[in-house]
């Protein structure tokens, strides 16, 4: 199967790989999700400022090139966005940007799920 140039670029030069020291830090939201289709796992973290804007994002993905490229892309996309804006991110946008073939669509769904899980975690931490 041929990967698109954008997939290969993000795979070869992934942006924002790593993890934040989380601890009790309420400014960090962490999402960890797995893909039932293949068993790949993605951890995505958001660092949110007092103004509700995402300042930084990091990911670690145990998975295929498309999953790594999808998570790399979304960590770039969400920086500077509000949580509500980030929550509107669709896997179809990721799949389109990376020109993912149908069999790799679930890799982009993993990235959407990871963002949503990170946002949910952040909101839960900051709920009261
Ligand atoms: Fe091999 Fe996902 S299980 S790439
Ligand atoms: Fe499963 Fe890519 S093959 S995440």
pLDDT digits (tens, 9 = 90+) for 20-74: 987 778 999 999 999 888 899 999 999 999 999 999 999 999 999 999 999 999 9
CA distances from 87 to 13, 26, 54, 82, 99 (A): 25, 18, 11, 9, 22
Structure tokens at 110: 């993993």
Kindly report the pTM of this predicted structure. 0.91
Among all bound ligands, the one having the nearest atom to the CA of 107 is 2
The active-site residue, picked from 44, 78, 83, 107, is 107
- Asked if residue 3 has pLDDT above 90, the reply is no
Closest by CA position to 61, among listed 41, 47, 46: 41
Cα-to-centroid distance, 22 and ligand 1 (Å): 28
Q: 110: exposed, middle or buried (C-beta count within 10 Å: 0-12, 13-18, 19+)?
A: buried
Inter-residue contact 42 to 32 (CB < 8 Å)? yes
- The domain total for the chain is 1
Dihedrals phi, psi of 97, to nearest 5 degrees: -60, -40
- CA–centroid distance, 81 to ligand 2, in Å, is 26
What is the span of the domain harbouring residue 10? 5-125
pLDDT of residue 120: 97
Q: What share of the chain is helix, strand, coil (3-state, %, to 5)?
A: 45, 20, 35
Q: Which atom of ligand 2 is nearest to the CA of 110?
A: 4
Reported as a single tens digit per residue, the pLDDT across 77-122 is 999 999 999 999 999 999 999 999 999 999 999 999 999 999 999 9
State the CATH number of the domain containing residue 64.
3.90.1010.10
- Pick the residue whose CA is nearest to atom 1 on ligand 1: 64
Q: In the structure, what pLDDT confidence band is assigned to residue 1 with cuts at 50, 70 and 90?
A: low
Rounded CA separation 61/33 (Å): 10
Which has the closest alpha carbon to 119: 29, 55, 53, 20?
29
């Amino acid at each position: 199967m041929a990967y698109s140039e954008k997939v290969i670029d993000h795979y070869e030069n992934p942006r924002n790989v790593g993890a934040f020291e989380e601890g009790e830090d309420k400014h960090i939201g962490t999402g960890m999700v797995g893909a039932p289709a293949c068993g790949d796992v993605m951890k995505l973290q958001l660092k949110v400022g007092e103004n509700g804007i995402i300042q930084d994002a990091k990911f670690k993905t145990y998975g295929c090139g498309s999953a790594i490229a999808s998570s790399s892309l979304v960590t770039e996309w969400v920086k500077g966005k509000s949580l509500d804006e980030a929550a509107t991110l669709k896997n179809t946008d990721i799949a389109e940007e990376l020109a993912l073939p149908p069999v790799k669509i679930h890799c982009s769904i993993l990235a959407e799920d990871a963002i949503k899980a990170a946002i949910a975690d952040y909101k839960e931490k900051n709920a009261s």
